[in-house]
Amino acid sequence: MTTLTPVPPRARRSATRAADSEERSNVSTLDRSRRTVRVTTRVLTVLLVVALCVVALGPLLWLFKAALSTSQDILREPFAWWPSGIQWQNLPDAWSQIHVGQYLLNTVWVAAGCWFFGLLVALTGGYGIAVLRPRYARVVNGAVLATLFIPGVVSLISLYVTVLDVPLLGVNLVNTFWAVWLPSAASAFNVLLVARFFAGLPRDVFEAARIDGAGVFRVFWSIVLPMSRPVIGVVSLLTIVASWKEFLWPLLVLPSPDLQPLSVGLYRVSDTAPTNLLMAGMFISVVIPVVLFLVFQRQFLRSAGQAGAVKG
Amino acid sequence: MRENTLTVTAPPAADAPPTPPRDAEPPGRGGRRRSPAAALLSWVRGGGVGTLVMFLPLLLTFGYFAWWPIAKSLILAFQRTDLITEPTWVGLSNFERVLADPLLWTALGNTAWFAVLALVIGFPLPVLMAVVMAELRRTRQITSVLAYLPVIIPPVVSVLLWKQFYEPSDTGLFNSVLTRLGIEPVGWLQEPALAIPSIVVQSTWASAGTATIIYLAALMSIRTELYDAAEVDGASILQRTWHVTLPQLRGVILLMLLLQLIGTMQVFTEPFVMTGGGPENRTVTLLMLVYNYAFLSGDFGKATALSLLLAVGLGLLSAVYLRLTRKWSES
């Protein structure tokens, strides 16, 4: 699939594209010199920006407003800006009364573990499949690829049963973060992404290092890893965002409220918590991803553009 | 450069470093048969152990959490088990019980309706947006940021937020707009006929950004010569959109259509958080039924049987779809 090309060529291409400002799209420079075209594009642009602001940004602004309002104001006058004044107290109240602080900490832990194990599996596996290539690598690659085509619903129940009593080890992972970290690390998509990237690296570098006496680990640590920053970035972004958004799985394997991440915790209290505190909690759980997104928007959009197609 | 001179001056290769074959096999022993012990020794010397260690994280996580669960569901589906008492083999009875559940057909209908609505509402929009956004120069970055923003919101938060918007009282967010227009307030999630469309609107809001960015990336990689040629032939902008842009996007569009279909057939979080399956079971989906069988009734065999049926259905659907579209794209 074309969407799985390694990152550097793509990045290089967009760099040259930025440099070459005369790069055309459907509408050519000649078209743009025509008045009707200019006017139409401008009108379309304005319409699109306004519509996107209202539809995409509007709900978030409203959430921000609601997070600092009284429950009364939220329910009675949803469009008014703080008729009873700004309630800064909502944020610390949500933090302590509905334990948003605890959920936030759990979410960060979950994301950190998913990130670490996701990278570990994807990088070592990708290295094995694309660089070391022992004879069994083809089998492993095929078996990894196969899981990509099996819908997640197949293994939901049996995965839960597995986590409840891990075969051979006989441990129960329910109510530990391992139950979220390890299954999320078994991501065929990440392994494939990394393997494709490694396959695009120059082979003679690895071979030269091997001849100089570097072992499997040395080549991985000192040569492959420093070259794989782009793919590490993409995989990190995808795993952290995915773990932050996860709901059903943590709901199943983390029944203890002390361990639940934000999404599960907010769902659990959503029926009983006061509306303003719920909104404040939701706002807190949105702020971090949104700020990260705004700071790293280029990386987010690039990895979504090239990776999202297969992820579905 | 260096590798060039190496290949050009191939004859005096004697002083060039010998490149050993990739695998553990040491060179020059091809013909002779070796004992297993010697083979093992050469495998170890060739770095076979290190290679295997590199594969361990992948083999362990996939073994435990991808391959084994798939095999395990083929076992579970034919067993009666509540995870407490010893499981017993029951043949096809789980499947029979699933098919005999009247709620199955409700859930199937709801899920299919959800998928159809999601296609109708949510599918053309990203294509359109991406086609327009590709023409923007100064505002392309900002519009793609705005379009992708909802995707960043965790699904549960997005659903809870929209649940608030759908508040049925006349001061609810959407209803207060209706009231101002002189329309009676609507029970968005309470009216059986409106519940699924309301959820589809929310889930479209939450996911349209991903598709838009993917289409935009695909649009950016269309070869510009195609546009140049069409323009020289006198095609107008709209003609170029129809005859160049959309045909060039066809592969991505067909893939996204299939992925969206597979995704919406497994919808869970949105109806689960928004309505919990109500009103009158009108938003119970297939995956919710799987969840209910396993975690409310403790009937893990029945739940697995249904999930297998769903997976087989999705597999057939994809096969038929790929077949049809291949024919279509050849013609």
Q: How far apart are CA A312 and CA B214, in angstroms?
A: 10
Residues 94-123 of B with CB under 8 A from A: none
How many whole angstroms from its chain centre is CA B7? 45
More confident position, A182 or A8? A182
Contact by Cβ (8 Å): B158, B199: no
pLDDT of residue A86: 86
pLDDT-derived band at A25 (thresholds 50, 70, 90) equals: confident
Domain topology for B112-279: MetI-like fold (1.10.3720)
Contacts of B57 in chain A (CB under 8 A): 117, 120-121, 124-125, 185
User: Sign of dihedral through CA atoms B310, B315, B320, B324?
Assistant: positive
Q: How far apart are CA B295 and CA A304, in angstroms?
A: 34
Q: In the beta sheet, which residues pair with residue B80?
A: B88
pLDDT of residue B232: 86
pLDDT of residue A79: 84
Distance (Å) from the alpha carbon of B119 to chain A's nearest alpha carbon: 14
Q: How far apart are CA A14 and CA A9, in angstroms?
A: 9
Nearest CA in chain A to B161: A63
Tens digits of residue pLDDT in B226-285: 888 888 888 888 888 888 888 888 888 888 899 899 999 999 999 999 999 889 899 999
Residues 261-290 of A with CB under 8 A from B: 262-264, 266-267, 270, 275, 278-279, 282, 285-286, 289-290
Q: Which one of A30, A128, A211 has the shortest CB-CB distance to B51?
A: A128
Q: How far apart are CA B24 and CA B36, in angstroms?
A: 14
pLDDT of residue B275: 93
Mean pLDDT for A282-302 is: 90
Distance (Å) from the alpha carbon of A280 to chain B's nearest alpha carbon: 11
Encoded amino acid at B226, one letter: L
Nearest CA in chain B to A241: B152
Q: Shortest CA distance to A243 belongs to which of B58, B154, B273, B267?
A: B154
A213 reaches B (C-beta below 8 A): no
pLDDT-derived band at A77 (thresholds 50, 70, 90) equals: confident
Q: How far apart are CA A174 and CA A153, in angstroms?
A: 19
CB-side exposure of B133: number of CA atoms within 13 Å? 30
Question: Burial code of B189-220, b = ≥16 C-beta within 10 A, e = fewer?
Answer: beeeebbbebbbbbbbbbbbbbbbbbbbbbbb
More confident position, A220 or A15? A220
Q: How many CB pairs under 8 A join A and B?
A: 303
pLDDT of residue A150: 85
More confident position, A18 or A74? A74
pLDDT of residue A17: 46
- Residue A104 CB neighbours (<10 A): 19
Question: Looking at the predicted structure, is the pLDDT value of residue A14 above 70?
Answer: no
Q: Which one of B213, B287, B311 has the shortest CB-CB distance to A308?
A: B213
Inter-chain touch A157–B64, beta carbons under 8 Å: no
B89 reaches A (C-beta below 8 A): no
Tell which of A155, A286, A298 to mutate to test the B interface (max B CBs under 10 Å).
A155
Query: At B89, is the secondary structure helix, strand, or coil?
Result: strand
Q: Which one of A57, A128, A304 has the shortest CB-CB distance to B146?
A: A57
Taking domain A92-309, whether its CATH number is 3.40.50.1100 is answered by no
pTM of the model: 0.86
Which residue bears the tokens 């129809």? B242
| Consecutive H or E run containing B80 | strand B79-80
Inter-chain touch B262–A151, beta carbons under 8 Å: yes
Distance (Å) from the alpha carbon of B78 to chain A's nearest alpha carbon: 13
B311 reaches A (C-beta below 8 A): yes
Nearest CA in chain A to B287: A153
B227 reaches A (C-beta below 8 A): yes
Q: In the beta sheet, which residues pair with residue B89?
A: B79
Q: How far apart are the first and last CA of chain B?
A: 46
Q: How far apart are CA A110 and CA A247, in angstroms?
A: 12
Contacts of A153 in chain B (CB under 8 A): 266, 287, 290, 307, 310-311, 314
A132 reaches B (C-beta below 8 A): yes
Tell which of A55, A158, A193, A224 to mutate to test the B interface (max B CBs under 10 Å).
A158
Tell which of B157, B163, B267 to mutate to test the A interface (max A CBs under 10 Å).
B157
Cα–Cα distance list, A75 to B167, B169, B170 (Å): 8, 9, 10
Domain residue ranges of chain B, discontinuous segments joined by +: 112-279
User: Using alpha carbons only, what angle is made at residue B260 by residues B247 and B165, rounded to the nearest 5 degrees?
Assistant: 120
Q: Which one of A128, A183, A252 has the shortest CB-CB distance to B65?
A: A183
ipTM of the modeled complex: 0.87
Q: How far apart are CA B161 and CA A278, in angstroms?
A: 10
Tens digits of residue pLDDT in A149-200: 888 888 899 999 999 999 898 889 999 999 999 999 999 999 999 999 999 9
Burial environment of residue B33 by CB neighbours within 10 A (0 to 12, 13 to 18, 19 or more): exposed
Q: Which one of B51, B135, B304 has the shortest CB-CB distance to A157?
A: B304
Q: Which residues of chain B have pLDDT under 70?
A: 1-33, 328-331
pLDDT of residue B6: 35
**What percent of chain A has a predicted confidence (pLDDT) above 90?**
54
Domain residue ranges of chain A, discontinuous segments joined by +: 28-89, 92-309
Contacts of B24 in chain A (CB under 8 A): 134
Contacts of A264 in chain B (CB under 8 A): 156
Contacts of A309 in chain B (CB under 8 A): 214, 252, 255-256, 259
Question: Looking at the predicted structure, is the pLDDT value of residue A309 above 50?
Answer: no
pLDDT of residue A174: 94
Contacts of A140 in chain B (CB under 8 A): 55, 58-59
Question: Looking at the predicted structure, is the pLDDT value of residue A75 above 90?
Answer: no
Judged by average pLDDT, the poorest of A23-37, A87-101, B83-97, B103-117 is A23-37
Q: In the beta sheet, which residues pair with residue B79?
A: B89
